[in-house]
């Protein structure tokens, strides 16, 4: 049953309760990437950071294929478990594994066969491609493991064990952090070491998750009969996963464009700088997504109950939390950009370039928290199309034209400036849309009273 405390309990307390686990999970996910970048930058060098940045779109694409299966499967399983339909839920589980393996193999084969042309297209140069290639060969070879790990982790979460799913994530992050320096510094394996550490950490986490799903006492567990392919299950999970998949593909294209523009106007160093600031910005954006995940059940329920006061309260509170977070990012980025980027590299010129880029990139960052919360808010209350539009506006619709025009005028700096410019326009649009929505709430409230 939907807990009715959503309509009565203190909004701040609810938000804390619902957002906390999501924030931890998001922080862990972004730290995972950050740690890799830091060790690669410190242990291998500035060109390796650039090589890593060139692989971002490919990694995005691989994640996209993971969500294609994972999101739909988790949705279906949680729905089926809600109806105590354990038989079907287990069959979905079996089909998730089969789909993940099939899609994983496909990505691996296509990725490995066309690796060099893909990397060049994504902005690699003669200098950076050895690093990108070395890293990606291992990541692509282990692609099935990554997909299974993320897919099954989502299933474990959906099956009522969110704590275990989170522990698995933390386990992978922790192991990666421990293994990275061993492989990079002690064994001197270079960027390849970072890839091996990532894969090994995921293997261990995957083994643990598999063990959870082999427990016959858990409502979801593997058995021989669940591994029967079912066209209907496959179709349904893929159709649910299609939207997040396309979203990831879109962000992949944007990163390709950024990389190519940087390569054209600024060369490898500029791409390296992007590799660094991207990781920093990503952390703050992910934290915001944690807040919005916590807001979702609260805003949804109270909107459904027409308790607009509480809807407004939770929206306001989430916006405040998110704005504080991004403002912190803004302050760090403006006041001590050099210190932050020095985590990633010892190279003086890369440091200067990254610090300069970070300063521009976070220039309007305080607005970003607001923008992200508002676009997610529209989704919470069922305005899916508006949510899609708002989310794409910042990351694609407005960014794209700026990314094409600005660099022609101002070169590399134009690339950096296109990001705050897009943040600004997107925030204004979000503001207009949320004010109009709030007016509608007011009208509805009056209608209820009269």
Partner 1 sequence: MERQIIITLGRRIGAGGLEIASKLAERLGVKVYDKELIKIAARHSGISADLFEKNDERPIPKGRFARFFEQDYTQENAISEDGLFRTQSDIIRQLADEGSGIFVGRCADYVLRDREGMLSVFITADKADRIARIMEKDGLTAREAEKYIDQGERRRTSYYNYYTFKEWGDSASYDLCLNSSRFGIDGCVDCIIEMLGK
287 Cβ contact list (under 8 Å, min separation 6): 23, 26, 27, 30, 325
Which positions from 281 through 300 interact with partner 1, judged by CB under 8 A? 289, 292-293, 296-297, 300
Task: State in angstroms the smallest separation of the CB of 385 from partner 1.
Answer: 8
Angle between helices 46-82 and 11-43 (to 10 degrees): 150
- Is 7 an interacting residue with respect to partner 1 (CB under 8 A)? yes
- Is 80 an interacting residue with respect to partner 1 (CB under 8 A)? yes
Stretch that binds partner 1, among 38-46, 74-82, 340-348, 409-417 (CB under 8 A): 74-82
438 vs 150: CA distance, rounded Å: 38
5 vs 341: CA distance, rounded Å: 44
Whether 48 and 354 have beta carbons less than 8 Å apart is answered as: no
Which positions from 82 through 101 interact with partner 1, judged by CB under 8 A? 82-85, 88
Handedness of CA 238, 239, 244, 249 (dihedral sign): positive
- Is 71 an interacting residue with respect to partner 1 (CB under 8 A)? yes
- Is 223 an interacting residue with respect to partner 1 (CB under 8 A)? no
Using the minimum distance from each CB to partner 1, give the nearer residue, 73 or 363: 73
DSSP codes joined into one string, 8-61: TS-HHHHHHHHHHHHHHHHHHHHHHHHHHHHHHHHHT-HHHHHHHHHHHHHHHH
Using the minimum distance from each CB to partner 1, give the nearer residue, 42 or 237: 237
Task: State in angstroms the smallest separation of the CB of 202 from partner 1.
Answer: 19
334 vs 379: CA distance, rounded Å: 32
The binder of partner 1 chosen from 129, 167, 170, 243 (CB under 8 A) = 243
Residue 21's nearest CA partner among 33, 11, 29 is 29
Instruction: Report how far apart, in Å, the C-alpha atoms of 334 and of each of 328, 330, 372 are.
Output: 10, 6, 21
- Is 442 an interacting residue with respect to partner 1 (CB under 8 A)? no
Cα angle at 229 between 227 and 233, to 5 degrees? 110
Other CB atoms within 10 Å distance of the CB of residue 437: 18
- Is 27 an interacting residue with respect to partner 1 (CB under 8 A)? no
440 vs 112: CA distance, rounded Å: 53
- What is the distance between the terminal CA atoms of the chain, rounded to a whole angstrom? 32
Stretch that binds partner 1, among 129-137, 325-333, 381-389, 400-408 (CB under 8 A): 381-389
Task: State in angstroms the smallest separation of the CB of 145 from partner 1.
Answer: 20
Task: State in angstroms the smallest separation of the CB of 364 from partner 1.
Answer: 22
Task: State in angstroms the smallest separation of the CB of 302 from partner 1.
Answer: 9
The binder of partner 1 chosen from 130, 160, 267, 304 (CB under 8 A) = 304
Which positions from 155 through 184 interact with partner 1, judged by CB under 8 A? 158
The binder of partner 1 chosen from 164, 221, 306, 312 (CB under 8 A) = 306
Task: State in angstroms the smallest separation of the CB of 78 from partner 1.
Answer: 5
Q: For 306, phi and psi rounded to 5 degrees?
A: 55, 30
The region, left, alpha or beta by phi > 0 then psi within -120 to 50, assigned to residue 441 is alpha
- Is 393 an interacting residue with respect to partner 1 (CB under 8 A)? no
DSSP codes joined into one string, 345-357: ---HHHHHHHHHH
- Is 210 an interacting residue with respect to partner 1 (CB under 8 A)? no
The binder of partner 1 chosen from 17, 21, 75, 308 (CB under 8 A) = 75
Q: For 350, phi and psi rounded to 5 degrees?
A: -65, -40
Stretch that binds partner 1, among 211-219, 276-284, 340-348, 383-391 (CB under 8 A): 383-391
105 vs 113: CA distance, rounded Å: 12
The binder of partner 1 chosen from 232, 435, 436, 450 (CB under 8 A) = 232
Task: State in angstroms the smallest separation of the CB of 233 from partner 1.
Answer: 8
92 vs 97: CA distance, rounded Å: 9
Stretch that binds partner 1, among 53-61, 272-280, 387-395, 407-415 (CB under 8 A): 387-395
- Is 240 an interacting residue with respect to partner 1 (CB under 8 A)? yes
Task: State in angstroms the smallest separation of the CB of 60 from partner 1.
Answer: 12
Stretch that binds partner 1, among 117-125, 267-275, 304-312, 410-418 (CB under 8 A): 304-312
The binder of partner 1 chosen from 331, 384, 405, 428 (CB under 8 A) = 384
Whether 315 and 47 have beta carbons less than 8 Å apart is answered as: no
Cα angle at 377 between 372 and 378, to 5 degrees? 110
- Chain residues that interact with partner 1, rule: CB under 8 A: 1-2, 4, 6-7, 22, 67, 71-72, 74-75, 78-80, 82-85, 88, 158, 232, 239-244, 247, 289, 292-293, 296-297, 300-301, 303-306, 376, 379-382, 384-385, 387-388, 391
């Amino acid at each position: 049953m939907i807990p009715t405390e959503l309509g009565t309990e203190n909004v701040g307390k609810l938000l804390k309760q619902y957002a906390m686990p999501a924030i931890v999970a998001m922080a862990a996910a972004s730290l995972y990437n950050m740690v890799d970048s830091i060790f690669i930058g410190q242990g291998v060098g500035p060109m390796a950071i650039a090589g890593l940045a060139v692989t971002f779109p490919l990694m995005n694409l691989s994640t996209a294929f993971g969500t294609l299966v994972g999101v739909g499967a988790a949705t279906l399983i949680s729905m089926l478990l809600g109806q105590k339909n354990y038989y079907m839920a287990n069959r979905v589980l079996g089909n998730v594994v089969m789909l993940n393996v099939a899609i994983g193999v496909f990505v691996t084969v296509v990725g490995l066969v066309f690796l060099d042309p893909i990397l060049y297209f994504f902005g690699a140069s003669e200098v950076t491609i050895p690093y990108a290639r070395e890293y990606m060969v291992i990541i692509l070879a282990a692609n099935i493991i990554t997909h299974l790990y993320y897919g099954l982790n989502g299933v474990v979460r959906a099956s009522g064990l969110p704590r275990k799913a989170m522990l698995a994530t933390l386990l992978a992050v922790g192991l990666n952090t421990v293994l990275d320096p061993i492989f990079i510094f002690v064994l001197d394996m270079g960027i390849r070491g970072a890839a091996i550490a990532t894969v090994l950490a995921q293997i261990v986490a995957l083994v643990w998750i598999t063990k959870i799903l082999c427990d016959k006492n858990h409502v979801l567990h593997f058995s021989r009969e669940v591994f029967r392919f079912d066209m209907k299950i496959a179709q349904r999970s893929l159709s649910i996963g299609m939207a997040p998949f396309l979203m990831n593909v879109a962000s992949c294209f944007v990163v390709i464009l950024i990389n190519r523009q940087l390569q054209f106007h600024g060369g490898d160093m500029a791409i390296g700088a992007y590799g660094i600031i991207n990781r920093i910005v990503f952390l703050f954006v992910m934290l915001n997504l944690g807040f919005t995940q916590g807001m979702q059940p609260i805003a949804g329920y109270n909107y459904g109950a027409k308790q607009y006061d509480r809807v407004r309260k939770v929206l306001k509170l989430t916006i405040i939390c998110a704005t504080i977070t991004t403002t912190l990012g803004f302050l760090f980025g403006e006041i001590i950009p050099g210190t932050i980027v020095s985590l990633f590299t010892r190279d003086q010129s890369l440091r200067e370039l990254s610090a300069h880029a970070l300063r521009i990139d976070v220039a309007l960052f305080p607005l970003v928290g607001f923008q992200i919360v508002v676009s997610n808010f529209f989704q919470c209350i069922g305005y899916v199309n508006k949510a899609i539009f708002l989310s794409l506006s910042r990351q694609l619709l407005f960014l794209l034209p700026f990314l094409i025009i600005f660099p022609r005028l101002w070169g590399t700096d134009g690339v950096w400036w296109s990001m705050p410019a897009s943040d600004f326009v997107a925030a204004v649009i979000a503001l207009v849309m949320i004010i109009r929505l709030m007016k509608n709430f007011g009208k509805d409230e009056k209608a209820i009273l009269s």
